[in-house]
């Protein structure tokens, strides 16, 4: 229902500003600490305008999003957006676009100090699909502060499926009953992160949410894994799902009875309420976790008084890497459908690109500064400099960060020590770089590749961020 209303609102804005600039959408957000108890344990959460999860952003391709965020927490706060963060400016009479300085990643974007506010200005340029925003510092994500982003196609742009009766947002993720500050303290004292305590669906525990549907109608679910680390399998009892979109790319429309959603990943499926009217289990369960967890929600057909019954459907065997990888490999871009392309003008022939540099990146856990538990890339753990990197770069201030601080390959030693510095990797404008992500640790890792010309050339070809079971490589190309 919400989605339909939002689509109408988009249409009205579009029509009234036809031929003018693309619409501006203004948001005023207050970030506060507040009590939540998603799994029956009261804890301090992070709320946006009093909500957990935070408010949903509904917009349309090329919309300008102006989000004024007021930080009422006692710590610096930074939001990361999975929107193409494009900033337009004019210099010497020419239009330029910048794309990284408001992306909400520590190092290129300063956090908002406690008690202050900052206005993020973004444009969903050439973008469609399902995404989310999340806090990117200090384990705040373990307390909330995340929410869904829907970017609808502009009217007239063909979408490769019929409009669904409704769109439903499903934010799934692992959850700790431990306050995010206590989790920070554990890492700072050298301890590992404990196993999660449960799984949340739209901020609620088992059977905390129900989704209402009408018999015979088709619905779009926009599913995002907003959790910290667990890969989650998603399924609906007795209902198959047709995958139609992964992170802004329309896919070949395969049918699945269950789907793995990795930490940080978003996708859209269609399903038709074509079973006998009643209530059905929706199940989310961990895939490779040391301690298996699951949770349920209810799919409720309108007018049905038959309560949900029977055991929830079992998923694939826990730890079945082959199932997960085969499924990932089955996901393909629909090359004839509308949507953003890595080479919108067809100007690059990827088969004949001369890759000028290959970077191998490996993740490793280790201790820095004596006792703190941190993660490192090629044995370097990033630490914030006193001077923001973008300012140091702009004003040519030397000694703030070191270019080439992260080597192009992991150190040869088996268990390399972790060091921390404000290390920066440089690359040449418009060069093509092949990045091999290597995971030789014994747990699944997720990488967030921030920037919009990154796409997977090995593996399944569509992930902007993906998880790697141990001992697997993914090759991506960045421009
Ligand atoms: C802070 O918010 C006020 C309105 O509440 C606004 O006028 C001002 O521009 C904002 N400042 C920043 C840096 O975004
Ligand atoms: C791909 O998109 C086209 C254009 O909308 C559509 O006709 C076709 O059915 C889609 N193909 C698959 C395999 O999903
Ligand atoms: C789901 O799809 C599988 C494979 O195509 C099929 O065997 C099964 O009957 C379908 N289940 C439902 C409930 O439609
Ligand atoms: C969910 O977890 C419980 C408790 O570990 C287990 O007994 C049950 O089989 C699991 N259900 C599913 C559908 O995975
Ligand atoms: C790659 O290099 C070859 C040989 O130098 C050149 O002929 C070719 O045009 C280059 N390809 C591209 C896409 O630049
Ligand atoms: C920084 O250095 C570059 C080239 O070395 C120069 O073009 C630029 O104007 C300098 N910026 C400032 C703010 O001095
Ligand atoms: C991953 O890539 C590295 C470097 O290219 C290679 O040495 C290694 O064998 C690859 N591992 C797997 C499992 O493919």
User: Tell me: the pLDDT tens digits for 409-427?
Assistant: 998 865 567 888 998 888 8
pLDDT at 311: 87
Mean pLDDT calculated for residue range 290-314: 91
Q: Is the dihedral of CA 314, 463, 418, 370 positive or negative?
A: negative
Domain identity same for 270 and 174: yes
pLDDT at 14: 36
User: Angle at CA 43, nearest 5°, toward 39 and 47?
Assistant: 95
Provide the token pair at 326: 């085969």
Q: Is 254 near ligand 2, meaning CB less than 6 Å away?
A: no
Q: Which of 33, 32, 50 is nearest to 42 (CA)?
A: 33
pLDDT at 104 over 90: no
Query: Looking at ligand 5, which residue's alpha carbon is closest to its atom 6?
Result: 354
User: Which of 254, 332, 333, 336 most suits a substitution to test ligand 2, by most atoms within 8 Å of the C-beta?
Assistant: 336
- 336 in a structural domain: no
User: Which of 240, 275, 280, 313 most suits a substitution to test ligand 3, by most atoms within 8 Å of the C-beta?
Assistant: 240
pLDDT band at 98 (very low <50, low <70, confident <90, very high): low
Mean pLDDT calculated for residue range 261-281: 95
Which residue would you say has higher pLDDT here, 337 or 103? 337
The least confident of 36-40, 128-132, 215-219, 332-336 is 332-336
Distance CA 223, CA 202 (A): 10
Q: Note the ligand closest to the C-alpha atom of 349.
A: 5
Q: Is 436 near ligand 7, meaning CB less than 6 Å away?
A: yes
The least confident of 73-77, 130-134, 137-141, 390-394 is 390-394
Q: Is 396 near ligand 6, meaning CB less than 6 Å away?
A: yes
pLDDT at 309: 81
Which residue segment(s) compose the domain that 450 sits in?
Answer: 345-478
pLDDT at 103: 74
Query: Looking at ligand 5, which residue's alpha carbon is closest to its atom 2?
Result: 354
pLDDT at 116 over 90: yes
Beta strands (DSSP E) in 334-371 are 357-368
User: Tell me: the pLDDT tens digits for 203-216?
Assistant: 999 999 999 999 99
pLDDT at 399: 92
Contacts with 91 (C-beta within 8 Å, 6 or more apart), sequence order = none
Mean pLDDT calculated for residue range 116-138: 91
pLDDT at 274 over 60: yes
- 8 in a structural domain: no
Query: Looking at ligand 2, which residue's alpha carbon is closest to its atom 7?
Result: 160
pLDDT at 241 over 70: yes
Domain identity same for 56 and 110: yes
Helices assigned H by DSSP within 93-244: 180-188
pLDDT at 402: 87
Ligand 3 nearest atom to the CA of residue 240, by list position = 1
The least confident of 68-77, 130-139, 167-176, 364-373 is 364-373
Residue ending a domain, choose from 291, 306, 330: 330
Domain identity same for 318 and 188: yes
User: Position of tokens 């306050």?
Assistant: 179
- 50 in a structural domain: yes
Which residue would you say has higher pLDDT here, 162 or 416? 162
Domain identity same for 470 and 351: yes
Domain identity same for 218 and 361: no
Domain identity same for 302 and 191: yes
Domain identity same for 184 and 243: yes
Ligand 5 nearest atom to the CA of residue 354, by list position = 1
pLDDT at 88 over 70: no
pLDDT at 320: 78
pLDDT at 247 over 90: no
Q: Is 347 near ligand 5, meaning CB less than 6 Å away?
A: no
Percent of the chain topping pLDDT 70: 82
Domain identity same for 357 and 454: yes
Q: Is 383 near ligand 7, meaning CB less than 6 Å away?
A: no
DSSP structural state of residue 214: -
- 417 in a structural domain: yes
- 234 in a structural domain: yes
pLDDT at 324: 86
- 271 in a structural domain: yes
Residue ending a domain, choose from 152, 183, 200: 152
Beta strands (DSSP E) in 330-401 are 357-368, 372-377, 380-382
Contacts with 423 (C-beta within 8 Å, 6 or more apart), sequence order = 380, 382, 401, 402, 405, 406
Taking the CA atoms of the chain, what radius of gyration do you get in angstroms?
22
Residue ending a domain, choose from 96, 121, 152: 152
Average pLDDT, the chain: 84
pLDDT band at 473 (very low <50, low <70, confident <90, very high): very low
pLDDT at 390: 82
CATH code of the domain covering residue 208: 2.60.40.420
Distance CA 117, CA 1 (A): 32
Asked if 127 contacts 85 with a C-beta cutoff of 8 angstroms, the reply is no
Domain identity same for 99 and 204: no
Domain identity same for 142 and 178: no
φ, ψ for residue 182, nearest 5 deg: -70, -35
What total number of domains does the chain contain? 3
pLDDT at 216: 97
Query: Looking at ligand 3, which residue's alpha carbon is closest to its atom 5?
Result: 255
Which residue would you say has higher pLDDT here, 91 or 167? 167
Which residue would you say has higher pLDDT here, 5 or 20? 20
Domain identity same for 125 and 226: no
- 458 in a structural domain: yes
φ, ψ for residue 244, nearest 5 deg: -120, -20
Q: Note the ligand closest to the C-alpha atom of 116.
A: 1
Domain identity same for 222 and 260: yes
User: Which of 354, 355, 432 most suits a substitution to test ligand 5, by most atoms within 8 Å of the C-beta?
Assistant: 354
- 212 in a structural domain: yes
pLDDT at 434: 81
């Amino acid at each position: 229902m919400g989605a339909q209303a939002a689509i109408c609102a988009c249409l009205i804005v579009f029509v009234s500003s036809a031929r003018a600039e693309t619409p501006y959408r203004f948001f005023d957000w207050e970030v506060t600490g507040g009590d939540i108890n998603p799994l029956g344990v009261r804890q301090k959460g992070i709320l946006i305008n009093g909500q957990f999860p935070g408010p949903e952003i509904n917009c349309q391709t090329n919309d300008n999003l102006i989000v004024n965020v007021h930080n009422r927490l006692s710590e610096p706060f930074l939001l990361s957006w999975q929107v193409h963060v494009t900033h337009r400016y004019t210099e010497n009479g020419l239009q330029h676009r910048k794309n990284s300085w408001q992306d909400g990643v520590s190092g290129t974007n300063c956090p908002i100090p406690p008690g202050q506010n900052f206005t993020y200005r973004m444009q969903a340029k050439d973008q469609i699909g399902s995404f989310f925003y999340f806090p990117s510092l200090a384990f705040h994500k373990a307390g909330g502060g995340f929410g869904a982003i829907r970017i609808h196609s502009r009217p007239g742009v063909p979408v490769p499926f019929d409009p669904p009766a409704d769109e439903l947002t499903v934010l799934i993720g692992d959850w700790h009953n431990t306050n995010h500050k206590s989790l920070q303290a554990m890492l700072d004292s050298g301890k590992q992160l404990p196993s999660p305590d449960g799984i949340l669906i739209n901020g609620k525990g088992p059977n905390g949410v129900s989704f209402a549907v009408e018999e015979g109608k088709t619905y779009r679910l926009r599913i995002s894994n907003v959790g910290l680390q667990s890969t989650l399998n998603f399924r609906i009892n007795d209902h198959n799902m047709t995958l139609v979109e992964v992170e802004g790319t329309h896919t070949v429309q395969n049918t699945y009875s269950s789907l793995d959603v990795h930490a940080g990943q978003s996708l859209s499926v269609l399903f038709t309420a074509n079973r006998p009217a009643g209530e059905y289990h929706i199940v989310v369960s961990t895939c490779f976790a040391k301690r298996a967890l699951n949770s349920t929600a209810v799919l409720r057909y309108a007018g049905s008084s038959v309560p949900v019954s029977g055991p929830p459907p079992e998923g694939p065997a826990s730890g079945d890497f082959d199932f997960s990888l085969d499924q990932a490999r089955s996901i393909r871009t629909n090359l004839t459908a509308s949507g953003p392309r890595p080479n919108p003008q067809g100007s690059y022939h990827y088969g004949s690109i001369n890759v000028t540099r290959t970077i191998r990146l490996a993740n490793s856990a280790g201790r820095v500064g004596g006792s703190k538990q941190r993660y490192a890339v090629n044995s370097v753990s990033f630490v914030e400099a006193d001077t923001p990197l973008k300012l140091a770069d702009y004003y040519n201030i030397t000694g703030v960060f070191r270019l080439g601080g992260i080597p192009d390959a992991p150190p040869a030693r088996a268990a390399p020590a972790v060091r921390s510095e404000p290390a920066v990797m440089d690359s040449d404008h418009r060069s093509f770089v092949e990045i091999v992500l290597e995971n030789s640790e014994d747990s699944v890792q997720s990488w967030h590749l921030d920037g919009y010309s990154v796409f997977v050339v090995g593996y399944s070809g569509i992930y902007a961020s993906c998880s790697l079971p141990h001992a697997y490589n993914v090759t991506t190309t960045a421009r």
